[in-house]
Structure 1
Amino acid sequence: MDPRCISSYTDKALISSVAFCTDDTSFVTGGIDKCIRLHQVEKSTREIKYKCESAVRCVALAPNGKCMFGGDENGKIWMKALSVSQQKEDADSFVAHFKAINSIAFSPDGTRYTTASNDGTAKIFEYPTNNFVASFKGHTHWVLSSEFSPDSNVIVTAGEDKTCRIWDVLNKEKPRVFGKFPASVTHATFHPSGTIVGVALADGSFLLIDVRNEKTIQYYPKAHNGPITALRFHPSGSFALTSSTDKTLSIWDLIEGLKFYTIDGFADEVVDCKWSSNGSKFIACTKSGEVKTFSTNFDKLIKTIENTTSTAGSASDSRIDEATGVMNPELKRGHPPKKESKPKQEDMTPEERDAKITAALTKMLNQVEILTKSAAMMTERVNMQAKTVERLQAAYNQ
C-alpha cells in the first residue's frame, strides 16, 4: 500500500506551483520563466506553453475544467482556455492586486475564486466573468494563501503576520483571528468536514483547529526540518499531505495522529503539492523544476474502512472529529454540562415521545458507528504491519 511514483519530469524552468486538471490525466505548472505549462501525466515531456508578462507564482484550474489560471509577481491574473489540441502563446489577463499574487483557489461550487497577495489583502472574483466581489483587509503583512470552505460561504487566509483568519463571504463581518502562532502561517486550508482548519507554519509544524470552539485538536511540532510550503487534506479527510523546503513530502494519518509515509529523494525544495480530485494520485514540484506524480495506493485502505460501516445520516460527525474526540465547547473548557430541563411525561404527545426515542436511538447508532470505524482502522493497521514484517523476513532469509 506504499505510494508509487508513476511519472517524473524535470522542467527547464524554475517552478513555483502545480495543479491537477479536473480529469486528473493532465496537470498545469507555473514558472519563474513567465510561463504557464500544460502537461499530460503519462507524457509529461509533451507540453503546451502560454506566455505571461512576469514570473507566475501560483496556478489553479476552474472546477468545470474549462480554464486554467495563473497569478504573477506583479499582481496580474492570467487566464487561458484549457485545450491540448490548440496552442495560443498568449493568455488573457487583468490586474487583481498591486503586488505579487501568492495563491488562487476556486470555490467548490465553481462560481467564484479567491486570491491572496503580498499587498496584504485577499480578494474574491466571480467566475467566469472575473467581476470583483470583495476585498478582505486585516493582515498586517503578506497574505500567503486564501481558500474557500466546503460550503463556499467563508474563506480562510494565511498570513506572514503569524495569524490565520476566517472571513464570512456573505456578511463581510470582522474575521475570526487565530494566532499569533510561533511562526508565519505559510498555508491554511479547510478540512473536508468544514469544521476544521489546517494551519501550516514556517517552523515546520502544522496543527488542526476546530473552528467551532477555536481549540487545537491536533498538533504536529517540527513535522518537517524546514518551512511547510503546502498542506493538503485527502478528499476522505483521513490523511494529510505536506510539502517542505527540507526536500520531502510527508503523508499523515489523521485518525492515528501519526506520520504515515515520507517521500524523499527530491533534489531541491518541494514548493507545492496537490491531491487529484478523487485522491487516487498526488503530485509535487520542486523549485528547480522537478515534477513527480504518485499513485496513492492506500486509498484502498480508505475504501475498506468506509465499506465496513453504513452512513448513519447527516447526524454523524466527520471521521476526524471522531478520532480526535472533539467535545462540546463547554466540556472542553472544563465547565460542567448544562442541565436540560426534562418535559413532564404528561405534557408529551405521542409524536414528541416517538421523536425523542428516535433521536436517542440515532445517537446510539452513531456511537456504534464510531467504534466500528475505529476497530476497522486498527484491524487494517495490524494487517499492514504484518505484511511489512513478512516482507522484511523474506528479504532477510534470502
Structure 2
Amino acid sequence: MEHVLPERQLKELQKAILDFMHTQGYAESLEVFARESGNDGFVADSKDRHHNLLAKKWTSVIRLQKKIMELETKLSKLQDDVRTGAVATRRGKPAEWLPRPPAQQTLAQHRAPITSVRFHPQYMVLATASEDMTVKIWDSESGDFERTLKGHTKTVQDMAFDAKGSVLVTCSADLTLRVWDVSDEYKCVRTLHGHDHCVSAVCFIGADKIASASRDKTVKIWELATGYCVKTLSGHSDWVRGLGVSTDSRMLCTASNDQSVRLWDLASGECKGDLRGHDNVVEVAKFAPVASHAFLRRLAGLPPVAVAKQNGSDGTSPDEPATSQFIISGSRDKTLRLWDCASLQLLHTFVGHDDWVRDFVVHPSGKTLLSVSDDKTMRVWDLITGRCAKTIEASEHFTTCIDFSSVNPLVATGSVDTTVQLWACR
C-alpha cells in the first residue's frame, strides 16, 4: 500500500505516536507498533523533539479548526453585508478611526506588570512582555492565548519584530537579548551578550541589524546573522531608556535618564545632536513617521515641503534625510516634545498628562498621536493643533506601553495591573 505521507514525515509521525504510547503507559501496544513500524530500537526521551509532539499537533489542529470556523462565519457576514449594502454604513474613514472605550478585550495571563506590547507586522498576532520574565503570543483578533516564550531570567523589558515578521528580538534585565524564529514556533536561535547592565530597549535597523539601549549608558549595534556587536555608541551620562531608528535606517535617536535625547549617525557612530528641554527622565524617543511630517510642519509653523525645496528635499539641510526630520519624546516630566532634527530645536510641547509619560505611537494616518501614562490614561493628540483631543481611561493602574496594529484597526495597551487591553478603532 502506498503511503500518503513522504517517508521522512511518516517516520516523524511514527516516533510521535510511540512517544505518546510511552507517555500514556501503553507498553504492550508500544512494543507491537514499534516492531511493525520498523522502530524496534525506539527509546523514549523527554528531551527528544518528538516528546509530546502528538499532543501539541492535536491542540494546534483544534485551534486551527476553531479559527477556520470563526473566519467562515465572518466571511458569511461580510458577504451578507455586501449583498445588502451594509458595508457602506461604516462611520468615517480608516484614517479617522480611533480607539473607542470600553476595551474590546482584556488579556490576562501574565503574573507581573506588562512592559511592552508589539503587533506582528503582517499577521493578527500580538506579543506581550512582562516583568514575569516571559513573552506571550496571542491571536489579536480572537484574544486567544497561543504560547509562552521562556528563556530570560529577569524582566523582559522590550521587544521588536523585523519588518517581515519572521524574527522577534527581546531584551531583558538579565543583560541579554534573545532572537526568536517566528516561523519555527518561536524557537530561540541566538542569545546576545555584551551589555554590562539591564537592556531596556531594542529596535531593528533595516533587516540585518539590531540596536539595543542599556542601563550601562551605551547603545550597541548587533549583526542579526552572527550575533556580534559591531558598534558601541557612548555619550549619555546615565541609563539609556529608549531608542528609535529613522525609516531610512541612517539615524538613531535615544532617550535617557540624563534628561536628554541624542541623535546619532549610524554610519559613523557620531552623536549629531543633544536635545535638551525635558525636566526629568526621558522614557521614550522615536522618529516621527513620514505620514505625519506634513501635519507636524503645520504644527511647528514651518513652510510646506514644496516651498522649502530651496533648502533641501524636505525643508531640512541638503544632507539631512527626509525620514529623520522630526523626533518625538516622552518624559517623566509629564510631557511629550517635538524636535526638529536639522536645527535641533524644540518645536512643540504636548501638555496634558498628569503623571509620567511612558510610551506613545503615531496613528498610521499621521494625523494623531496616542500616548499612555502613569496617570492611567491613553490620550489622543491632534498633530495639527498639538492639543489633546480625547482622554480614555485605559487601566486601573499605571499604563506602561502601547502599539497600533498595521493589520486591523486595533490598539493594544499594557498595564502594571498585569493585563493587556485591546481597543477596537472605529
TM-score range, shorter chain: 0.5 to 0.7
Aligned to 1:138: 194
**CA distance 1:199–1:281, shift in 2 (3 Å):** same
Task: Give the length in aligned residue pairs.
Answer: 259
**CA distance 1:44–1:253, shift in 2 (3 Å):** farther
Match of 1:192 among 219, 239, 247: 247
Aligned to 2:119: 61
**1:264-275 equivalent positions in 2, closer than 5 A:** 264-275=351-362
- One-letter code aligned to 1:225: D
Question: 1:55-99: CA deviations, max 9, x gaps?
Answer: 21111110014111111112111111111xx455x5532213111
Question: 1:343-398: CA deviations, max 9, x gaps?
Answer: xxxxxxxxxxxxxxxxxxxxxxxxxxxxxxxxxxxxxxxxxxxxxxxxxxxxxxxx
What SS does the corresponding residue of 1:183 show, helix, strand or coil?
Answer: coil
Match of 1:116 among 164, 171, 181: 171
Stretch of structure 1 that moved more, 251-260 or 151-160: 251-260
Question: 1:228-278: CA deviations, max 9, x gaps?
Answer: 111111122321111001111111122332112111121111111112334
Shift of residue 106 of structure 1? 1.0
Aligned to 2:258: 203
Question: 1:163-184: CA deviations, max 9, x gaps?
Answer: 1100011233333111152111
Looking at structure 2, the residues matched to 278 and 109 of structure 1 have their Cα atoms a distance apart, in angstroms, of 21
**1:364-383 equivalent positions in 2, closer than 5 A:** none
Question: 1:89-135: CA deviations, max 9, x gaps?
Answer: x5532213111011111111221111110000111112253121221
Aligned to 2:377: 290
CA contact (8 A) 1:24 1:277 kept: no
Shift of residue 297 of structure 1? 2.9
- One-letter code aligned to 2:102: T
Gaps of 5+ in 2: 1-92, 291-322, 387-426
Shift of residue 291 of structure 1? 0.5
Aligned to 2:270: 215
Aligned to 2:6: none
CA contact (8 A) 1:199 1:206 kept: yes
Shift of residue 47 of structure 1? 2.8
CA contact (8 A) 2:218 2:240 kept: yes
RMSD across aligned positions (CA)? 2.3
- One-letter code aligned to 1:44: P
**1:302-341 equivalent positions in 2, closer than 5 A:** none
Match of 1:250 among 320, 325, 337: 337
Match of 1:49 among 89, 103, 106: 106
CA contact (8 A) 2:192 2:228 kept: no
Looking at structure 2, the residues matched to 295 and 110 of structure 1 have their Cα atoms a distance apart, in angstroms, of 30
- One-letter code aligned to 1:287: D
Larger Rg: 2
Looking at structure 2, the residues matched to 25 and 159 of structure 1 have their Cα atoms a distance apart, in angstroms, of 36
Aligned to 1:395: none
Match of 1:78 among 126, 136, 160: 136
Question: 1:120-172: CA deviations, max 9, x gaps?
Answer: 011111225312122111111000001101x2210000000001100011233
1:277 has 2:331 as partner: no
**CA distance 1:137–1:230, shift in 2 (3 Å):** same
Match of 1:104 among 141, 151, 159: 159
Aligned to 2:328: 241
Shift of residue 25 of structure 1? 7.9
Gaps of 5+ in 1: 1-22, 27-39, 300-398
Looking at structure 1, the residues matched to 137 and 174 of structure 2 have their Cα atoms a distance apart, in angstroms, of 21
1:228 has 2:266 as partner: no
What SS does the corresponding residue of 1:225 show, helix, strand or coil?
Answer: coil
Structure 1 runs, 4 residues or longer, greater than 4 Å off: 23-26
**CA distance 1:58–1:212, shift in 2 (3 Å):** same
1:177 has 2:229 as partner: no
- One-letter code aligned to 1:139: H
CA contact (8 A) 1:51 1:91 kept: no
Looking at structure 2, the residues matched to 132 and 46 of structure 1 have their Cα atoms a distance apart, in angstroms, of 32
| TM-score computed with the length of structure 2 as normaliser | 0.57
Looking at structure 2, the residues matched to 282 and 91 of structure 1 have their Cα atoms a distance apart, in angstroms, of 30
